[in-house]
Amino acid sequence: MGGFDDILARAKEQSPRLAASATERGPLSTEEAAGLVTKIALANWAGLMCGTQLASGKGMMAGLLKAAGIETGDSESDAELKARLIQIATDGFLEVERVLSALPGPFLGGEHPAQPDAFMATMLVGCHNTLACGLSIMPQAPCTLAHVGAPSALRYLQAWAARPSWLACYKVGPHRYCPPRHPTRILNPRLLS
């Protein structure tokens, strides 16, 4: 089967359309785009676990921090770590905004998405959804990407969601890729008691 690079190389050989779009174009490489948004997402998930007393929760949090490249100190309290993770996510959202607001077209790749866009969009829609439903360490949550300093990210996702490829993959249109603004309206009331 192979790793990601092997799978991508075979897919490019089999599909000229994929080969044309799976290129390194734009202000960020695939590695940079993936690293930026992955760090935001993993900082958020790890932050939600701060203070857990469960060994499994501590293990999961350590794994997320390691995957994000976030080091922790033994003397750091849960509150200090959570505050630092909020700052890491905030800085990440501001960097996303800096990059996306300077684009000459709707995508990192210009008028058409490139390989870095696939990573950026996938992780950003996850970040958007966690913010929108309040499952986030960000103090503003539930909120939009604009509330955390990345208003251009919503326009970026809307450009993606209008594409037939997005519809084929995610099965939802440009106005239905996130949960409602008030998640308690869709939750089972028994879960809230």
Nearest CA-CA partner of 95 in 27, 46, 157: 27
Per-residue confidence (pLDDT) for residue 182, from 0 to 100: 41
Low-confidence ranges of the chain (pLDDT < 70): 1-2, 4, 171-193
Fold of 25-192: Glutathione S-transferase Yfyf (Class Pi); Chain A, domain 2 (1.20.1050)
Q: Is 110 helix (H, G, I), strand (E, B) or coil?
A: strand
> What is the rounded CA–CA span in Å between residue 80 and residue 96?
24
Per-residue pLDDT of 23-44, as tens digits, reads 778 899 989 999 999 999 999 9
Q: What is the DSSP letter of 148?
A: G
| Residue with the two structure tokens 């948004």 | 37
CA distances from 38 to 81, 146, 165, 180 (A): 18, 18, 22, 24
Per-residue confidence (pLDDT) for residue 172, from 0 to 100: 64
